[in-house]
Amino acid sequence: MTALGFTARRNAKRHGMTYSFLFMKASGNQLRELTPLIDTGKVRPVIDRVFPFEQTLQAMEYVEKGRAKAGNAVVAMT
C-alpha cells in the first residue's frame, strides 16, 4: 500500500497536507463510530460527483477510468 499511495502523499506534502489510506469493512459498528466524526466536521468526505442510482454503471466507469480526481464518486439511492 505504501507504493500505491506514493504519488498522492507527495502531492499532499507539496500542499502542506497529509494523505493516508482508510480501509473499512461495512459494518454497523464502524458506521456508528464514523457518523459523529462526519457530523462534527472532524472527518470531511470529499465528493467528486454524485450519480443517480440508474447511472451506477456510468459511475463505475467514471472511477475506473481515473476521472474522479477531487474525491469519491457517489451513487445516490434516493
For residue 24, the model assigns a pLDDT of: 58
Percent of the chain with pLDDT over 90: 26
Give the whole-angstrom CA distance, residue 21 versus residue 1: 8
Phi, psi of 34 (to 5 degrees): -75, -35
Average pLDDT over the chain, rounded to whole? 83
Show Cβ contacts of residue 58 under 8 Å, excluding neighbours closer than 6 positions.
51
Percent of the chain with pLDDT over 70: 87
> What are the residue ranges spanned by the domains of the chain?
1-43, 45-78
